[in-house]
């Protein structure tokens, strides 16, 4: 898939992020695409609602995709997320064997797919997904900036 072809799934992830923000969650959204490009799962952050520190959008979406496929190995799948994954989510993507991670906004404070850390391309690991960044980055950043600006008011 070429980079522009990820704009539509990123828009789905953005819609999940906006819904999460309306629920009082940090507005991050994720979508998992199957090897054929079909949406297997979509989710927004659920940490507050679930009282679960692991309920990041990526984790929830990866779990949904695994249920949809009936297995934990997500070989050939793509994780599309509005914000660069943290170490937990990057590690989960590696362990799930996703083929690629596509993200919008860079997370300079906690990103683990190239900015602060680069967990997903660590040569010591047995799987290294392809990483594409910057898809609708402005839109993804704006959703987060607006959410936190509203919180400060």
The whole-number pLDDT of residue 38 equals 97
Does CATH place domain 6-148 in 1.10.1040.10? no
* Mean per-residue pLDDT over the chain, rounded: 95
Q: Where are the domains of the chain?
A: 6-148
The whole-number pLDDT of residue 43 equals 98
User: Strands 29-33, 39-44: parallel, antiparallel or unpaired by DSSP?
Assistant: antiparallel
Check if 58 is active-site.
yes
Report residue 2's pLDDT band, with 50, 70 and 90 as the boundaries.
Answer: very low
Q: For the chain, first and last CA: distance in Å?
A: 41
The residue-averaged pLDDT of 90-112 equals: 97
- The CA distance from 105 to 137, in Å, is 5
State the burial class of residue 89 (Cβ atoms within 10 Å of its Cβ: 0-12, 13-18, 19+): buried
Q: Known binder of ligand: residue 77? A: no
Q: pTM of the entire structure?
A: 0.95
Q: How many helices (H) and strands (E) does the chain have?
A: 5, 5
Q: Is the pLDDT reported for residue 3 higher than 50?
A: no
Tokens read off for 93:
């993507």
Share of the chain above pLDDT 70, in %: 97
Q: Known binder of ligand: residue 127? A: no
Q: How many residues does the chain have?
A: 153
**Among 16, 25, 46, 58, the one annotated catalytic:** 58
State the burial class of residue 153 (Cβ atoms within 10 Å of its Cβ: 0-12, 13-18, 19+): exposed
The whole-number pLDDT of residue 150 equals 87
CA-CA distances (angstroms) from residue 110 to 5, 16, 41, 60, 85?
A: 27, 21, 24, 19, 8
The residue-averaged pLDDT of 42-54 equals: 98
Structure-token match 């010591």, residue found: 124
Residue predicted with more confidence, 4 or 42: 42
Q: Known binder of ligand: residue 86? A: yes
The whole-number pLDDT of residue 69 equals 98
pLDDT tens digits, 23-33: 999 999 999 99
Report residue 1's pLDDT band, with 50, 70 and 90 as the boundaries.
Answer: very low
Report residue 119's pLDDT band, with 50, 70 and 90 as the boundaries.
Answer: very high
The residue-averaged pLDDT of 118-123 equals: 94
The whole-number pLDDT of residue 151 equals 83
- The residues that bridge with 29 in the sheet, in sequence order, are 44
């Amino acid at each position: 898939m070429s980079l522009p072809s990820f704009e539509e799934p990123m828009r789905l992830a953005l819609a999940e992020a906006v819904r999460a923000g309306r629920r009082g969650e940090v507005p991050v959204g994720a979508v998992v695409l199957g090897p054929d490009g079909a949406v297997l799962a979509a989710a927004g952050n659920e940490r507050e609602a679930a009282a679960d520190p692991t309920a990041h959008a990526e984790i929830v979406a990866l779990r949904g995709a695994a249920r949809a496929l009936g297995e934990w190995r997500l070989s050939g799948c793509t994780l599309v997320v509005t914000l660069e994954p943290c170490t937990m989510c990057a590690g989960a993507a590696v362990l799930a064997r996703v083929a690629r991670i596509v993200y919008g906004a860079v997370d300079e404070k906690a990103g683990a797919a190239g900015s602060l850390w680069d967990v997903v391309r660590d040569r010591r690991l047995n799987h290294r997904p392809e990483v594409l960044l910057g898809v609708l980055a402005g839109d993804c950043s704006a959703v987060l900036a607006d959410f936190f600006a509203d919180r400060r008011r």
